[in-house]
Amino acid sequence: MSQRLVPLEGTQNFRDLGGYPTEQGRRVRWGRVYRADALSTLSAGDLAKLAEIGLRLVVDFRGDEEVSLEPGPFQGHPEVGYLNVPIGENASPTEWRERFERGDLGDLDEHWLSRSYVGMLDARPEAFAQVLVAFAGEAALPAVFHCTAGKDRTGVMAMLLLRLLGVPRKHVIADYALTAEYTDGKIRAASRWFSDHGVDMEQAAHLFSARPSNMEIALDHLEAEHGGIERYAREVLAMDSALIEALRAELTEAGPG
């Protein structure tokens, strides 16, 4: 079996989305799409390892301020494509920091994350569609998508991708929760951001959580308000049958047995 967590010096949460079974009896291919936290502190050794896996595309979900303050090594890279698709600013360290600075903490509670995930699904479909279209083409793979913590914006993207590939809900939720296991609840990139901006980490503790209920609520919303992933993909993301099948052909393979 391939290894899910890719051990790198500069990240905690760079991991392969391969190996999950699908409802159609297939499984997600290993070594095709990865999810990650911030890549701005990758070492020379890390970059060499990513070159070994043949990385071709980096999708960065961070906003302008995050990118400018902590640029990654793939902007302008001669061999690896870089696509900046800012999404979900209400789930970014920039937004959190501004809320703390204003003292505007009224709804920054334990349900903030799940509400932000629902908001992304409703407000930013064009961003998710742009990435899914890119992944349907072999020339973009292997690819990685990331934000700062590798949990929220990245988590919603992973949920949509895995569900569209036919991965059962329980595995999607388990994949989301792996962030807590790999970071032990201490996400270095996000912690660094908060510390640099003088934010009390204790006040922000729940924002670092990866409770399964956060993703369960997002999946419930996808079902109740959008009729499930197939309808969401066709009617909201404007993906036709040919594009969906191309994505599945690129990213899944025959399952065992």
Residue 89 has pLDDT above 60, yes or no: no
Cα separation of 51 and 40, whole Å?
16
pLDDT exceeds cutoff 50 at 110: yes
Residue linked to tokens 């393979």: 253
Question: Is the full-model pTM beyond 0.85?
Answer: yes
Domains and CATH numbers, the chain: 15-249 (3.90.190.10)
pLDDT above 90 covers a percentage of the chain that reads 67
Residues 185-224: tens digit of each pLDDT:
667 666 666 666 566 656 566 677 788 999 999 999 999 9
Question: β-strand 33-36 against 143-146: which pairing, if any?
Answer: parallel
As a three-state string, the secondary structure of 102-165 is HCCCCCCCCCHHHHHHHHHHHHCHHHHHHHHHHHCCHHHCCEEEECCCCCCHHHHHHHHHHHHC
Give per-residue pLDDT as tens, 26-60.
999 999 999 999 999 999 999 999 999 999 999 99
CB-CB contact of 145 with 152 (8 Å): no
> DSSP for 200-254?
-TTTTGGGG---HHHHHHHHHHHHHHH-SHHHIIIIIS---HHHHHHHHHHHEEE
- Residue 181 has a pLDDT of 87
